[in-house]
Amino acid sequence: MAAEAHAHDHAHDHEHHDHPAPNFWNTYVFSTDHKMISKQFLVTGMFMGIVGVFMSMLFRLQLAWPEKKFAILEYFLGKWAPDGVMDPNMYLALVTIHGTIMVFFVLTAGLSGTFSNLLIPLQIGARDMASGFLNMLSYWFFFASSVIMIASLFVETGPASGGWTIYPPLSALPQAMPGSGAGMTLWLISMTLFIVSSLLGSLNYIVTVLNLRTKGMSMTRLPLTIWAFLVTAILGVLSFPVLVSAVLLLMFDRMLGTSFYLSDIYMAGEALHYQGGSPVLYEHLFWFLGHPEVYIILLPALGITSEVIATNSRKPIFGYRAMVTSILAIAFLSFIVWGHHMFVTGMNPFLGSVFTFTTLLIAIPSAVKAFNYMTTLWKGNLQLTPAMLFSIGLVSTFVSGGLTGIILGDSALDINVHDTYFVVAHFHIVMGLSAIFGLFAGVYHWFPKMYGRMMNKKLGYAHFWITFVSAYGVFFPMHFLGLAAVPRRYYTNAEFGMFDNLQDINVLITMFAILGGIAQLLFLFNFFYSMFRGPKASQNPWKSNTLEWTTPVEHIHGNWPGEIPEVHRWAYDYSKPGLSEDFAPQSLPIQDGEEETGH
Amino acid sequence: MNGILIAAVLVLAVLAVIQIVRIYELSSVIREEDTALPTPEDNDRQGFWMLVFGIAFIASFFAMMYAWMPDTLGLPASEHGPQYDNLWDISMGIIIVMFLIVQPVLFYFAYRYRGTAGRKASYFEHNNKLELVWTVVPAVILAVLILYGLSTWSTIMNPSKENEPIVVELYAQQFKWTARYAGKDNDLGNANVRLIAGTNALGVDTLDAKSADDQVTPEMYLPVGRPVLFKFRSQDVIHSAYMPHFRAQMNCVPGVPTQFQFTPTVTTADMRKDADMVAKVERINAVRAKAGKEPYVFDYLILCNKICGAAHYNMQMPIVVVSEEEYAAWIKEQKTVAETL
């Protein structure tokens, strides 16, 4: 009750608050309005996404035709691809920065930053984030971090190239590879700023959800999007600081000559002074963030999907409480499974057993989520919008990729597929594709809320189908490469006769990668075209129940022109018997003759 | 000049697409269609494509299995290998069954329940019995997989101590492998990177009596049927000794000793005669002949499987598994540390 009363007071204060006159700078650049910040995150994330995807197309060219010369490589990579032949160091740099950008800049900041910012205040019925100023700082730290990451691509010795997990000693010693020089320093600085951004954002999200819910919006009436964003933020707050410490100690080893991660090293003709450290310590610290990070990426996508599937099935999400419970269970388990990335580091086999046990447990809440999505579709009246297609695509990739997790989470089976293309296939499908599909679903679904216009559905359909087919076309065949023992991060497989019969698979994968990459132009075109020329949106185009659709189409500071609506029901009263419409906005009081369902 | 042309073509292409989209939008205004919301025809069409995709997806899954499974690793060559493969087959069998149930149902639902005008969806918000079923059933299946997996893991990681294993150090550096056999005493002498000098490339401590009979070799021979205990050491960055035919892998971490034990069960010569392997090598050599490369001959390999720098993609060493007698003859030929340093 206290929280609700507070929310009400806040709204009251707000109406009497004097705002500085809006001008270009405080509206579009240093805005404290969550809706504008959300767009800033989206557009920056999309730019980083273009860079990240483009890099993957370059290294896919190398993997499919390692012996061919490509003028395009020299055009973009300059001295790193003399005569159109890629330098092995540049190959490693491309996979490293591709991973970093996609995991952090696109699927963490781009996804969570965009939709947590847009939807948390709008769906819980708040005028803005708890702190608009911290929210603005969160974006600008992210922006600075992106600028530094991009700048690192242009340093003399090349960008960081030790893999996105930057294990020392490879990442710690510039003698080990050129990318571990200035490029790695910039990587570490960029990531530190990124983590600051993430923490400022997450704290804000948590405080806002807990304190600023409108009257009647109890925790059990929160849309699943908000549950997902809240739990994601908690995961971020608890795990990202550990990465800061890992990064800081790595900086000490690099700059001050400490030995946190280094010991007994002979490199470039001399024995180095480092003594007593352990690279395995770094791996523990990294994956203590790194595994929750997977769910920091995935949960918002699942939240978005829950909302999109329920709205477009015109049905309540099946098993709301089970969905919330499984989000919480996944989040809890995500903190005690990091060791499954380290089964072959020589850790105590008993410890490996514990991590196997906890890891495979995650399959249970994940299965519950998948089955609940499918039951939501069952007997629905599916409105197959592009957002809905991407959400169904997400359920498919979540299942396909999740299942191979049962193999990789098993310490015994991991021995022979660890770090092979089987792993690359697994995490790209379950985390990469699912999250990116969630991101697309979110953009198509909430574009009218963000820009007041509709995206073109025909282009959306074409975008979905080409993306969906080529996504599976890229990653499904990789399982078979893994089963043939092809290690990941190999510049070429041509040094091994045993892989020569697999080259056709690599060519096929690259063709799908190029097709899928080019298909994103459809999305970019649709996005920018619709932003300016798309048909004007109505207030609630998808006939959705959540509160954001009760705000006016034109954005105003404070979201609602008058009082914030009071909430009388949960977000999922679609096709409820006794109501004339097939939806019932959360602000609609319980009607006469309507059944009480306890939500 | 080319650049300007390409840019001009791109700009024109974008303009053309804009015009096409505008024409489409104007024509739908005339037909009073909505360009953003799905019409019943859209639902029909997209639902149909969902069904087609579902069928094509499952069909291509089987096609890939048929086409590419013969090119995967094949017969395991170590004592724990068949156990590993057995666990693999059971786990894979279960997930493939799940995959083949869930995916078709998902795409069928997307087709079957596609939106039609006038129909109302069912208000079905939860069902405890149903949810209990799909919590408990996966839990039971996973319990079985966990128990079986852990028992296999435990067998692999705690090999029986009945036969004394041959002790071999596998030494990793950017970008090659070196072996050090423990010699007659089967006990490796101390070594440290600070002792690396001249021909002592592994930093073997020559003052340690145990090191005198150690044998440093650039290749690795192993006797069939005898357990081998690998002790891994790296001098620079993390490497990973990946021996896929033996279902064996362990990281080599500078400053942190690691180990892995297995028993090779198939000699290199026998593996070369294995029918599946012969067929696979033929396919490989057909590809190589086209590219004008030398024919490939099968060998067991150690591959580096942890990113370690520029030539990570070419850090390999063959393992030759031979009979006990051949091994005895080979190891006798190898120089000891006492002889070389």
The model's pLDDT over A530-585, given as tens digits with 9 standing for 90+, comes to 999 889 999 999 999 999 999 999 999 899 998 999 999 999 999 998 888 889 99
Q: Is the CB of residue A94 less than 8 Å from the CB of residue A183?
A: no
Give A367→chain B minimum CA distance, Å.
7
User: Mutate which of B123, B176, B268, B303 to test chain A, going by most A C-beta atoms within 10 A?
Assistant: B123
Residues B153 and B206 in one domain: no
pLDDT band at A494 (very low <50, low <70, confident <90, very high): very high
Q: Is the pLDDT of residue A80 over 60?
A: yes
Chain B residues lying within 8 Å of A281, measured CB to CB: none
In a domain, A572, yes or no: no
Note whether B255 contacts A271, CB cutoff 8 Å: no
Q: How far is B341 from chain A (nearest CA, A)?
A: 19
Put simply, the answer to whether A476 touches B64 (Cβ < 8 Å) is: yes
* Statement: residue B192 has pLDDT above 80: yes
The CA distance from B186 to the nearest CA of chain A, in Å, is 22
* Contact pairs from chain A to chain B, CB under 8 Å: 385
Does residue B78 sit in the same domain as residue B178?
A: no
DSSP per-residue letters across A196-222: HHHHHHHHHHHHHHHH-PPTT--GGGS
B284 and A501 within 8 Å at the Cβ level: the answer is yes
- For B293, name the nearest residue in chain A, comparing CA atoms only: A497
pLDDT of residue A42: 97
Q: What is the dihedral of CA A475, A476, A480, A481, to 10 degrees?
A: -10
Give the pLDDT confidence score for residue B32 in this predicted structure.
Answer: 65
Quick check: B2 pLDDT over 80?
no
- Distance separating alpha carbons of residues B251 and A487, to the nearest angstrom: 14
**For position A578, what pLDDT does the model report?**
85
Specify the CATH number for the domain of residue B288: 2.60.40.420
Residues of B within 8 A of A491 (CB-CB) are 310, 312-313
A412 to B152: CB separation less than 8 angstroms, yes or no: yes
What is the helix (H) or strand (E) element at residue B259, kind and residue range?
strand B258-262
- pLDDT band for position A22 (50/70/90)? confident
Select from A319, A382, A572 the Cβ nearest to the Cβ of B113. A382
Backbone angles phi, psi at A349, to 5 degrees: -55, -30
Q: Could you tell me if A143 and A233 are in contact, meaning their C-beta atoms sit under 8 angstroms apart?
A: no
Question: Are B149 and B173 within one domain?
Answer: no
Please check whether residue A51 lies inside any domain of the structure.
yes
Of the pLDDT bands very low, low, confident and very high (cuts 50, 70, 90), residue A17 is low
> How high is the mean pLDDT of chain B?
93
Q: Measured between beta carbons, which residues in chain B are less than 8 angstroms from residue A392?
A: 50, 106-107, 110
For the CA atoms of chain A, what is the radius of gyration?
A: 24
Q: Which residues of B touch A483 (CB under 8 A)?
A: 69, 72-73
Q: Determine which of B146, B232, B278, B299 to mutate to test the interface with A (most A C-beta atoms within 10 Å).
A: B146
The answer, yes or no, to whether residue A12 has pLDDT greater than 50, is no
B25 contacts A456? CB cut-off 8 A: yes
| B89 and B182 housed in the same domain | no
Chain A residue numbers with beta carbons less than 8 Å from the beta carbon of B158 are 349
Identify all chain B residues contacting A383, using CB atoms and an 8 Å cutoff: 37-38, 43, 115
* CB atoms B138 and A316 under 8 Å: no
| Beta carbons of B244 and A313 less than 8 Å apart | no
Q: What is the mean pLDDT of residues B317-333?
A: 96
To the nearest whole percent, how much of chain A has pLDDT over 90?
A: 90
Residues B186 and B299 in one domain: yes
B169/chain A closest Cα distance in angstroms: 15
Partner-chain contact B123 A316, CB within 8 Å: yes
Residue B1 clears pLDDT 70, i.e. is over it:
no
Provide the pLDDT confidence category of residue A16 given band limits of 50, 70 and 90: very low
- Same domain, yes or no: B141 and B184: no
Name the residue among A363, A399, A493 with its Cβ closest to that of B102: A399
- A380 domain-assigned: yes
Is B52 a member of any domain?
yes
Number of structural domains chain B divides into:
2
Q: Are B228 and B277 in the same domain?
A: yes
**Residue A496 is assigned to a structural domain of this protein:** yes
Tell me which chain B residue has its CA closest to the CA of residue A488: B305
Contact list in A for residue B72 (CB cut-off 8 A) is: 480, 483-485
Tell whether A475 is covered by a domain: yes
What pLDDT score was predicted for residue A8? 46
B320 falls within a domain: yes
Contact at CB, A379 and B121, closer than 8 angstroms: yes
CA A430 to chain centre: 12
Flag whether B4 is in a domain: no
Q: What is the mean pLDDT of residues A13-40?
A: 78
- Residue B19: its pLDDT value, please? 82
B110/A384 touch (CB, cutoff 8 Å), yes or no: yes
Of A352, A415, A491, the CB nearest to B247: A415
Which residues lie closer than 8 Å to A252 by C-beta, 6 or more apart?
A258, A260
Lowest mean pLDDT among A19-28, A257-266, B271-280, B295-304: A19-28
Interface with B, mutate which of A410, A423, A451 (most B CBs under 10 A): A410
Band (pLDDT 50/70/90 cuts) for residue A586 is very high
Contact A410 B91 (CB under 8 A): yes
Q: How far apart are CA B162 and CA B263, in angstroms?
A: 12
Chain B positions touching A367 (Cβ under 8 A) are 134-135, 138
Q: What is the mean pLDDT of chain A?
A: 93
Statement to judge: residues B255 and B312 lie in one domain: yes
Cα–Cα distance between B247 and B241 in angstroms, integer? 11
| % chain B with pLDDT above 90 | 80
Residue A227 covered by a domain: yes
| Contacts with B152 from chain A: Cβ below 8 Å | 412
Tell me the per-residue pLDDT of A162-221, one tens digit each, with 9 for 90 and over: 999 999 999 999 999 999 999 999 999 999 999 999 999 999 999 999 999 999 999 999
**For B38, which of A313, A416, A457 is closest by C-beta distance?**
A457
Q: Which member of B146, B157, B287 has the closest CB to residue A357?
A: B146
pLDDT in tens, A346-374: 899 999 999 999 999 999 999 999 999 99
For A239-274, the pLDDT digits (tens) are 999 999 999 999 999 999 999 999 999 998 999 999
pLDDT at A591: 86
Give B332 to chain A, closest Cα distance, Å.
Answer: 30
Does residue B145 form part of some domain? yes
- Helix or strand run (H / E) with residue B261: strand B258-262
Residue among A264, A380, A400 minimizing CB distance to B255: A264
Residue A586 lies in a domain: no
pLDDT of A2 > 70? The answer is no
Most A CBs within 10 A among B194, B251, B271, hence the mutation to make, goes to B251
Are B150 and A353 inside 8 Å of each other by CB?
A: yes
Q: Specify whether B215 is located in the same domain as B264.
A: yes
Domain containing B145: what range?
Answer: 40-114+128-158
Question: Closest to B36 (Cβ–Cβ): which among A313, A370, A535?
Answer: A535
Kindly state whether residue B222 falls inside one of the protein's structural domains: yes
B24 domain residue, yes or no: no
Q: Is B46 in contact with A457 (Cβ distance < 8 A)?
A: no
Nearest to B120 by CA among A31, A14, A574, A122: A574
Enclosing domain of residue A299:
2-15+27-550
Omega before B175 within 30 of 0, i.e. cis: yes
Which chain B residues are within 8 Å of A396, Cβ to Cβ? 103, 106-107
Tens digit of pLDDT for each residue in B303-323?
A: 999 999 999 999 999 999 999
| pLDDT tens per residue across span A314-350 | 999 999 999 999 999 999 999 999 999 999 998 999 9
- Kindly provide the ipTM of the predicted complex, given to two decimals: 0.94
Give how far B252 is from chain A: nearest CA, Å: 8
Residues of A in contact with B235 (CB under 8 A): 264-267
DSSP A95-152: HHHHHHIIIIIIIIIIIIIHHHHHHHHHHHT-SS-S-HHHHHHHHHHHHHHHHHHHHG
Interface contact flag, A279 B47, Cβ < 8 Å? no
More confident residue, B31 or A267: A267
Between B228 and A23, whose confidence is greater?
B228
pLDDT value at position B61? 97
- B221 domain residue, yes or no: yes
What is the rounded CA–CA span in Å between residue A376 and residue A391? 12
Give the least confident one: A71-85, B27-41, B160-174: B27-41
* A230 contacts A211 by C-beta, under 8 angstroms: no
What is each CA distance from B102 to A396, B116, B283, B296, in whole angstroms?
8, 24, 35, 42
* CA gap A404, B166 in Å, rounded: 36
Give chain B's radius of gyration (CA, Å): 30
**In terms of CA atoms, which chain A residue is nearest residue B72?**
A484
Q: Write the CATH number for A186.
A: 1.20.210.10
Of A356, A396, A461, the CB nearest to B103: A396
> Is residue A22 included in any domain, yes or no?
no
CB–CB contact A320 B125 (8 Å): yes
Please judge whether B43 and A400 are an interchain contact, meaning their C-beta atoms are less than 8 angstroms apart.
Answer: no
What is the count of structural domains for chain A? Answer: 1
Residues of A in contact with B153 (CB under 8 A): 349, 352-353, 356, 410-412
Whether B240 and B291 share a structural domain: yes
Comparing CB atoms, the residue among A392, A412, A501 nearest residue B153 is A412
Give the integer Cα–Cα distance in Å for A574 and A315.
5
Give the model confidence (pLDDT) of A449-487 as tens digits. Answer: 999 999 999 999 999 999 999 999 999 999 999 999 999
Minimum Cα–Cα distance from B17: chain A residue:
A525
